[in-house]
Structure 1
Amino acid sequence: MFVLAHLSDPHLGPIPEARISELLGKRFFGMMNWIGARRRNFGQATLAALLTDLLAQPTDHIAVTGDLVNVSLPAEFDTGATFLASLGTPDKVTVIPGNHDTYVHSALSYHLEHWAPFLSGDETHPGTPLDRESFPFVRRRGPVAIVGVSTAVPTAYFLASGEVGGAQLERLRGILHELKKEGLFRVVMIHHPPVGERHYHRDLRDAEAFRRVISEAGAELVLHGHDHRASLGRISSNGELIPVVGVPSASAGPEDGRGAGRYNLYRISGEPGAWACIMESRGYAPGDATVQLRDTRQIIGLP
């Protein structure tokens, strides 16, 4: 059995001090959002307790689906790198960027520079500069192939949307076909949810195109963040229904309206054509300040 952990959207705080020139434009509104709401709802103590519980669980790998930072100040990416290292070594931890990790155009490469060991594929030589063409990347871990997709693109004021892009989608299609031939359990990591309805300012612009690729090429599991809510959707593929799973922010407190902080464990077993996956959710319940097992369900295979 292979055990994969999934957490998302920690929005690590506090926001570091910055020059006035760094806070002009979109970052100013992000700072106001942090001061007005996020710093009350997203706490270091909340995250620390959740991570203590996570690190006490036997896992083979940890997947982090983006939004480690808040307004993409340079110092935030050092904090993000420290956070990732606290979860484990780069061979045991995989991250993809979220929209807050590319909040402004000037920060477009920061996550690629600071988190490279955690978001590069197995075939990427250490020290090789990464860019958007580096996605999707693939990490093979036992029976599991982890495929990292980037939807992180800078957007205008008050927008938090994302996009995979045509070139990345075509690469993803080829990668998924190849991994199927290898008989691996394919886990696709993407920040923006590819299923469900949401306002245009927060959506995945090419969600329909992404779903077509997954439907045609197949996958076993799709993991995402962004909504700060627990969710379970499906994408139909060749007579199968592929689970699409979202988790709340890992830093969200028990009183957060969109969902108290949680992470998921996926217990993967079986073989090609007969995979099974049990999803276990651990974290806070509304009004409950203790981290506990909250839900267990089989999402792939028959009970």
Structure 2
Amino acid sequence: MFRLAHLSDIHLGPLPAVSYRELVSKRITGYINWQRNRKRAMFGDTLIQLVADLKERAPDHVAVTGDLVNLATRKEVEGAKEWLEDLGDPKWVSVVPGNHDAYVPGALNRAYREWHPYLIGDRYRNGMRKFPYLRIRDNVAIIGISSAEATAPFFATGSFKRGQALAGARLLRQTRDKGLFRVVLIHHPPISGAAAWSKRLIGKQLFSKMIRDLGAELVLHGHTHLDTLYWLTGPDGAKVPVVGVPSASQNAGDHKPASRYNLFEIEGGPGDWTLTQRERGLRADGSGIDWIRERTLLSDGRAVDARPRVDLPPAKLAS
């Protein structure tokens, strides 16, 4: 069994001091949003609790689907590098960037430099295309796609263009032929209507066609700060689960779901995979991390719910 953890939309806080020069850009709108909204909803030890709980579960790999920072200032990007290093070795943590990581022109290049080991495939060579990348861990193929790009104020769109679609299709075909369980990472949900028009993925039709032609076993995304499950159609009508996760830094009591991560358990082999999704997150009263939901995701488009798992202390288990 392979256990893959998924978290997203870290939005590391508190926001460091921002210079006037840095605010003369789209950052001014993000700065106001932080002070009015996210400072209240995403500050404290929520993220620390969630990551500590994730580490206790000791997953085989961790996927982070973007928005590590808020305004993509130099200090934020450098701080996110330290956070990633604390989260785990680059071999066991895969990252794709989000729109906040590309907040203004040039920001994404800084993130590439600082987070480089987490953003590359197994066969990376200097000068080669960064995305999509491929990492193979046991019988699982992790394909990282970037939808991040700098946008105008009040927009948070992403894009998926023909070049990534063609390269992604090659990776999906290659890993399918090897009999691997294929997980695609992307920040923006590749689903019509999943995000507001100003926050949508441009090119989601190309993404859908790629999945329809080559298939995948699981697509993971962030961006919406919601716990969602959609389905895309793959070859021969098979259904591919597309799973979103709430922000890892969201405090309890807000209109968005509180901090959460998903733990996927992958078993079986080609044509007979079993995929179980277990959700852990902050309790509604903010009193700690607990099991939220457990369900099996089937290739016919069904999600079979189970009762939440309960962890018992070792002494009680022994009795």
Please tell me the TM-score bracket, short chain as reference: over 0.9
Q: 2:163 aligns with which of 154, 163, 167?
A: 167
Match of 1:254 in 2: 252
Q: SS of 1:263's equivalent?
A: strand
CA separation in 2, counterparts of 1:44 and 1:217?
43
Q: CA RMSD in A?
A: 1.3
Give the Cα–Cα distance (whole angstroms) in 2 for the partners of residues 290 and 129 of structure 1. 45
| Structure 1: segments with no counterpart, 5+ residues | none
SS in 2 for 1:25: coil
Please list the CA deviations of residues 88-128 of structure 1 after superposition, one character each: whole Å capped at 9, or x if unmatched.
Answer: 10000011000000000031301110001011000014xx3
Change (3 A) 1:167 1:228: same
Q: Could you tell me which residue of structure 2 aligns to residue 101 of structure 1?
A: 101
Shift of 1:186: 0.3
Partner Cα distance (2:275, 2:147) in 1: 26
Separation in 1 of the partners of 2:292 and 2:124? 38
Indicate if the aligned counterparts of 2:226 and 2:257 stay in contact, CA closer than 8 A. yes
- Whose Rg is larger? 2
**TM-score, normalised with respect to structure 2:** 0.91
Matched-pair contact (CA < 8 Å) for 2:119–2:130: no
**Superimposed CA distance per residue, residues 222-255 of structure 1 (whole angstroms, 9 cap, x where no aligned partner):** 0000000000000011221100000000000111
Give distance in 2, aligned partners of 1:288 and 1:80. 25
Match of 1:226 in 2: 223
Q: Per-residue displacement from partner, 1:3-56 (whole Å, max 9, x unpaired)?
A: 000000010011212321111120011100000000100124011111111110
Paired residues of 2:192 and 2:204 also in contact (CA < 8 A):
no
User: Displacement of 1:287 after TM fit?
Assistant: 2.9
Per the alignment, do residues 129 and 259 of structure 1 end up closer, same or farther by CA in structure 2, a change over 3 Å counting? farther
CA contact (8 A) 1:136 1:150 kept: yes
Instruction: Determine which of 180, 198, 211 is the counterpart of 2:208.
Output: 211
Gap runs ≥5 in structure 2: 305-319
Percent identical: 41
Following superposition, the deviation at residue 258 of structure 1 comes to 1.5
- Letter aligned with residue 220 of structure 2: L
SS in structure 1 at match of 2:167? helix
The 5-angstrom pairing of residues 69-218 of structure 1 reads: 69-125=69-125, 128=126, 133-197=129-193, 198-218=195-215
Secondary structure of the equivalent of 2:83? helix
CA 41–129 in structure 1, closer or farther in 2 if over 3 Å, else same: farther
Query: In structure 1, what is the equivalent of residue 310 of structure 2?
Result: none
Aligned-partner Cα distance in 2 for 1:52–1:107: 29
Pick which of 66-75 and 10-19 moved more.
10-19
Q: 2: CA distance between counterparts of 1:200 and 1:165?
A: 18
Q: CA deviation at 1:164?
A: 1.4
Q: Which residue of 2 aligns with 1:51?
A: 51
> Residue 61 of structure 1 contacts residue 92 of structure 1 at CA under 8 Å; is this kept in 2?
yes
1:166–1:29 Cα change, 3 Å: same
Q: Deviation of residue 196 (structure 1)?
A: 4.2
Query: Distance in 1 between the 2:174 and 2:190 partners?
Result: 22
* Farther-moved stretch of structure 1 (263-272 vs 232-241): 232-241
How far, CA to CA, are the matches of 1:255 and 1:129 in structure 2?
46
1:121-167 Cα deviation digits (max 9, x unpaired): 00014xx367xx31000000000000000000110010000001111
- Equivalent AA in structure 2 for residue 63 of structure 1: A
Given that 2:12 and 2:68 are in contact with CA atoms closer than 8 Å, whether structure 1 keeps it comes out as: yes
C-alpha contact 1:146 1:186 (8 A) present in aligned 2: yes
Contact 2:132–2:145 (CA under 8 A) maintained in structure 1: yes
